[in-house]
Every structure is written in C-alpha cells, then in structure tokens.
A and B are shown apart, each in its own frame.
Chain A
Amino acid sequence: MMRFEYFEPDTLDEAVTLLGQYAGKASLMAGGTDLLVEIKEHLHRPDYVINIKKICDLDALTYNNTDGLTIGSLTTVRAVETSPVVLEKYAGLAQAARHLGSIQVRNRATVAGNICRASPSADTLPPLIADEATLKLYGPGGERVLPMEVFFTGPRQTQITKDEILTEIVIPPPPPHTGKAYIKHGRRKAMELATVGVGVSLTLDGDFCREVRIVLGAVAPTPIRAWEAEATLRGTVIDEALIEAAAVKAMEVSRPISDVRSSAVHRRKMVHVQTRRVIALALSRARSDS
C-alpha cells in the first residue's frame, strides 16, 4: 500500500523549495511510471511526493534550425515518439521512444524521467547522447547546463543534486547528410528492458564519414561511447569491412553483466551484431538525407 504526503507546486521555485525543505525524503513525480512502481514494490518509500505536472511551460516539443529540438521535462515519451519532426530529424530517438514500455506507459512516462532514473539500459539515453543533447537543470542557485554525455556517474546515479530539477533537454539541429538510428535488443518485442541498446548518429561529407557517434546502452554501468569504433569509421569511405571492424571495437569496449535478462557473453555478442546493423541503418539514412 502506498503512503505519502503529496504536493502539486505551481512553479519551479516552489518545487525547488519543497525539495530543499524535505531533502532526502522527497521524490519528484512527473509521469510516475517508475516512481509509483518503486513505491509499490517497496524499493523506495519517499515520505513526500512532489508532482511537477502543474508547473507551466515544461511540456515543450519544439524545433528550429538554429537551436534544434527542445524537449520539456514534462513532455511524454509518446509525444516524442509520434512527433513528425522527431521522426524526420532524430530518427534514433523516435525509434528508442517507440520501444519504451507500452503505449499506456508512454502516454504518461517522460523522457526527462527516463534520463533522471538513469537505468543503464534506458532506451532514450544512447540516441540522446549520440545526438549531443544538453540538459538544463534548475536549482536554488538558478539554472545550469550540462552535456548529457557527462551526466551519468553510475547505475541510477547522475550529477543532479537533491534540490535540482531537470527542466529541458536540447538537441542540436542535425547537419545535412546525417543519419540517426537506434536498435534495442531484447527477448521480446514490447514491454522489455534493453539487454543491449546501440544509438548512432552519422554525418557524411560526400562519400566520407565526417562525423560519427556510437553510444552503447545496457552493457556498462552507464551509457558509453564506443570511441575506438567511431575512430575506425571517421574520415573513411564506409564499407562493409569497416562496419564490421567498428562493430568488433564496440564489442570489445562493452563490459556487460549477467542478469535475469541475459548473460554477459550473449550481450557482448549482440553488441557486435546490433552495432553492425545500426551503423548500416544510420549510413543508409545519411545517404538519403539532403
């Protein structure tokens, strides 16, 4: 049985004050699809729940060619999944959103919640990091901005402080001839946690790969960049042999655990397979992007 005191602040400052007042005993709630499960399963029992859904202007989902995509912290995964601009310009993120939980969960869950929960296998993290997303955090001292790539410090651990709220995620506009993709590997097609996740953003300059970012999820305590795999491709005319070499490098940098969903051995092998596939997918998208 759940029990807690409950607040619905109208402003960010109110929410931050409450977080400070009840430090260590309060949890923020947006979608509630992780928090309420944790409370019901006795994994986390905050005395105070601070529901931020009454705060205005946190549900943005806007794009312009200068700033790129802005996702508010109350924007649902379903909104991101179905957004035409996300489907067109951030296809990896759209794919990741589409495979999170179920439609019922996605209608409530927020991308910001997926980020702050910082599960190593979280679906939106690899594409967001591959897309060079930055995070806006608001606390008693005001606002600060962090690149998402440095946000995660361990399983379910981030740089956010106890009295801060993630307010916005900003993703730069993709350059021309960019292809993005995300592949989620799991035992079933829905309601699954990724056993391996690979997100890629790849930009071509003519036939050459000008830039590539490959991010692996579920195979380390946090999402990780496959730096050597990227170096294998950057500046080259990508062919099958290079993709294979990059996929092997990605496999080598993975350090997965064995758990109920998959063994470390299997995960490592699947990093090889899925990295190969997702690079090929991003490459074909980059080639048809103008």
Chain B
Amino acid sequence: MKRLVTFTVNGEMQKVTVEPYRSLLDVLRNEVGLTGTKKGCDVGDCSACTVILNGQPVNSCLVLGVEADGMVIETIEGLAQKMEDGYALHPLQKNFLKYGAAQCGFCTPGMIMAAKALLDGNPHPTEAEVRFAIAGNICRCTGFAKIVEAILRTNVDG
C-alpha cells in the first residue's frame, strides 16, 4: 500500500506517494525526477548512488523511500548555485573538471557527494583521509588518482 512521504531535496520540499519497497534511489530518479544520482549495482557495493541524508553520505539504493520521510537530502543537482544567467559550479565540480577527474562520468555524482560529505566535516583532509572517504566509491575509468587530486585541491583552492 502506498504511503505519503515528505522530504527536502536540495532545499526544496518534495511530497511523493510510493510503495514502501521502493528504494530512495528509485524515488529520487523517478517520482522526484532527479536523475543525477546513478544506479550502478543497486546493492550497496559501488556507491554510485551516494546521496547525503541528514548530513551523512549513504547508498540511496539501500534506503527505502519511506525511510526518508522528514529528512533532508542533498543530491548532485544541489551543488551548483543557480545564478541569474546560469549556474555557478561548486568548487568540487570545478576541480573535477579542471583536474580531469571524470571520464565516463557515471561514478562522478556519487564520488562528488562522498567528497562533499568529507569536506563538510573536514575542510582540510589529508590524502589518506580523502582516500578513506571515497573508499566505497568504485571508478572503472580513472584509476582514482585525479579524483583524489581534485578533492585534495578543493581544500587548497577553497
């Protein structure tokens, strides 16, 4: 039986009515219409589906949509600031572009959200702390080096 769920996504309140067995990932992509969060493995191994839930990075494929009732969610779509004539990219997004940290881009939203969660709590991480923070995020393309560099330099560049 469907349930009414209310949560905030990127600062905006969303109300959806969903079956309890729908994952938050599916609800965000379908009912809410935000397809920036990607479905990789759907079983919590790849972390492509990482969103920030009440300040914590989680695999949205392993959270039920109904569990997010009353919660605050940040997805990749919420990072860039809307301006009068377009968007201002978040420093993480700017550095991922600048340092070539994305190839196919499929892991990238989850990777950036994991990185944002790290920097939100620890604005000046060491390389070891960066690697630990993204240890759950799999990337098939880049070999991770430029991802780590982009995150580390986000700390320096501000």
Binding site for B on A (CB under 8 A): 1-6, 8, 32-33, 36-37, 40-41, 49, 51, 53, 78, 101-105, 107-108, 189-191
Contacts and interface: CB of A to CB of B under 8 A. Distances in A.
B91 interface: no
Interface stretch (B40-48, B78-86, B95-103, B148-156): B40-48
Contact of A41 (B43, B132, B137): B43
B154 to A, nearest CB: 18
Contact of A104 (B23, B44, B67): B44
Given A103-B57, A104-B59, A108-B63, A6 B20 contact: yes
Contact of B57 (A2, A40, A104, A190): A104
Nearest to B46: A191
A163 B32 CA distance: 37
A33 B44 contact: yes
Nearest to A31: B62
The 3 A-B residue pairs with the shortest CB-CB distance in the complex, in nearest-first order: A102-B136, A6-B20, A190-B135
Contact of A102 (B1, B66, B135): B135
Nearest to A101: B136
Contacts, number: 82
A53 B135 contact: no
B20 A37 contact: no
Interface residues on B, range: 20 to 34
A108 B19 CA distance: 21
B58 interface: yes
Contacts of B53: 107
B58 A107 contact: yes
A104 B20 contact: no
B64 interface: yes
A8 B3 CA distance: 12
Nearest to A190: B135
Contact of A32 (B45, B63, B117): B63
Given A78-B56, A191-B136, A103 B20 contact: no
A40 B62 CA distance: 10
Interface in B2-51: 19-23, 42-45, 47, 50
Given A40-B42, A104-B47, A4 B21 contact: yes
B47 A4 contact: no
